Structure 1
Amino acid sequence: MGNLASSRGVDQRPAITERVVTLTVNGRSHTLRLDTRVTLLDALRDRLGLVGTKKGCDQGACGACTVHLDGRRVLACLTLAAQAEGREITTIEGVSGTDGPHPVQQAFMDQDGFQCGFCTPGQIMSAVALMAEGRAGSDEEIREYMSGNLCRCGAYSNIVAAVRQAASQGGPDAHL
């Protein structure tokens, strides 16, 4: 005998739960009504129109969706939007200042740290964070702490050169 409720056509799926979530993104507050299962990535892209953060693998393996949460890098595809409530979210759109590109963004341009550009926002967000963490000492260290960000085009040597340039030119001011 099967489940009596399902044999009578009663829906066994859990009810969708929504809640109001206030996200502070790039210094601006946004109040959204979201399904509690919505990822930070989907809230940023689909609800706030911040499409610089890329959806690559949607499984936490590529790093294209890297953003900062209270100054620390996180994978937005693995973070629920509700988990980010009350915390400061910085996306690639919030990295540059009013006086021009962030030193890491400028270094990526100077060193050709991108080819197709799809991974570049996540690469830049990770590079900014690793510099803030003080982990841009050697090329090996840069490669290690950037290893969560994949580049399909293989621009890794240029990415390392860009991080090295930004670290050497920006000093302590080269991070958020």
Structure 2
Amino acid sequence: MQFMLLVVVALCVGSIASRPAHAEDQSLNRVKQKGTLVVAISPDYPPYEFQVNQNGKQVDQGIDVDLAKQMAKDLHVKPVFKNMSFDSVLVAVQTGKADMAIGGINPTPARRQNADFSKIYYNGGQDFLVNKKDAGKIKDKNSLKGQKLGVQSGTLQAQLAKKNIHGAQITQMSKTPDLVLALKTNKVDAVG
């Protein structure tokens, strides 16, 4: 895909997805003609994408937001961010409601069948967030057996929890701040 190749060549970053490549693809031309780059994000994954209140208005910020703004600038178009739940960002690209998605989107084999991905720019591990009082009790995935684990819907962590953490009671939520609140209020024992 011309547009995706431009993103990969220009920035060599990752976690950016766009429609699959086709020889006749005109995505880049459409973006330039309409004058906007529509970016699907789920702004609840700081420091990559998150929202802050500025003068009573929620404003998208973060590393991924800055990357998308720079891409739009390089294309001489205006960036337009569409905020949605994480499990909807790739669907927005696939259905043409967004030109690209940006965020902590792992390029799984299934996702690669439906979208092009740039190179990954961050390789982290899988960790759990626990309350301080439980830090000695929950030390690894084996400690989560029989525990209540919160994960974000549509994420790699949700898939890994179902597959690898046997005996855990898994609760899925669409937003990371909701998971953190559930942890703080002891509705879950850990957040993946």
Aligning the two structures, in what range does the TM-score lie when normalised by the shorter sequence?
Answer: under 0.3
Q: What TM-score, normalized by structure 2, do the two folds share?
A: 0.25
Question: Structure 1 length normalisation: TM-score?
Answer: 0.26
Greater C-alpha radius of gyration: 1
